[in-house]
Amino acid sequence: MSAKDKLLLAARDCLLTKGYAHTTVRDLVAASGANQASINYHFGSKEQLLTRALRDLNTEWGELLFAVLEEPGDADQEALWGRIIDSIQVNRSLWFVNFESVASSRQDEEIRSMLAGGQEVARASLARAFAGLGPDDDPDEVRAAGSYYFALLVGLAAQWLADPEHAPTAAQFVSGRQPPAPGRPRVG
């Protein structure tokens, strides 16, 4: 395995265990067996190495999510949310990296752009899985439905990552009630 590949593997492992902000050059050198100069030689900087590994991990996260959304089965939303919750639990480190990448995008245009592109694909996939909307449907409807389900996904994932003991089950999540529209009283 080349030094470049060892560094990428080390960056991936460090991101999954320590996170972007807490990974040091020393961590990368220790995990890869490469020397410090090889980071700059192959990637230009520690940040560029971590960004490359982050892009790879976000791609992996997206592939896992899309596989869950496209898994054959019934169109039961509770079952679909249940599979998403299972994926969050099995891939916690990967979901944490994805959330951390949002914070990293504040200072890094490359990460922000990567996330924006990934979110666009996720919205389309979520609109298809939950609302039955596809490429032949009105793009505004697909985007609106996908944005709605993306917001639900992020909120559900945040709860499962921060407080899994109190996070809602799929049944609880699906049975939740939407708040009344402004100016309309709650019914029931």
pLDDT for the residue 73: 61
* Residue 186, pLDDT above cutoff 80: no
Percent of the chain with pLDDT over 70: 91
pLDDT confidence of 74, banded at 50, 70, 90?
low
Structure tokens at 154: 């992020």
* Residue 163, pLDDT above cutoff 80: yes
| Count of other CB atoms within 10 angstroms of residue 13 | 17
- Model pTM? 0.84
Query: For the chain, how are helix, strand and coil distributed in percent, rounded to 5?
Result: 70, 0, 30
- Rounded Cα–Cα distance for residues 79 and 139 (Å): 27
* Residue 35, pLDDT above cutoff 50: yes
Q: Residue 45 corresponds to which amino acid?
A: S
Structure tokens at 102: 């949002």
Tell me which fold the domain 51-175 belongs to: Tetracycline Repressor; domain 2 (1.10.357)
Mean pLDDT calculated for residue range 18-24:
90
Q: For the chain, what is the mean pLDDT?
A: 89
pLDDT confidence of 76, banded at 50, 70, 90?
confident
CB within 8 Å of 59: residues ≥ 6 apart: 118
Structure tokens at 179: 């708040």
Which residue, among 2, 11, 16, 18, has the nearest Cα to 49 in the 3D structure?
A: 11
pLDDT for the residue 20: 87
Would you say 160 and 89 are in contact if contact means Cβ atoms under 8 Å apart? yes
Would you say 86 and 169 are in contact if contact means Cβ atoms under 8 Å apart? no
Structure tokens at 163: 């407080």
- Rounded Cα–Cα distance for residues 181 and 188 (Å): 14
* Residue 75, pLDDT above cutoff 80: no
pLDDT for the residue 61: 87
pLDDT confidence of 188, banded at 50, 70, 90?
very low
The full set of domain ranges for the chain reads 51-175
CB within 8 Å of 60: residues ≥ 6 apart: 94
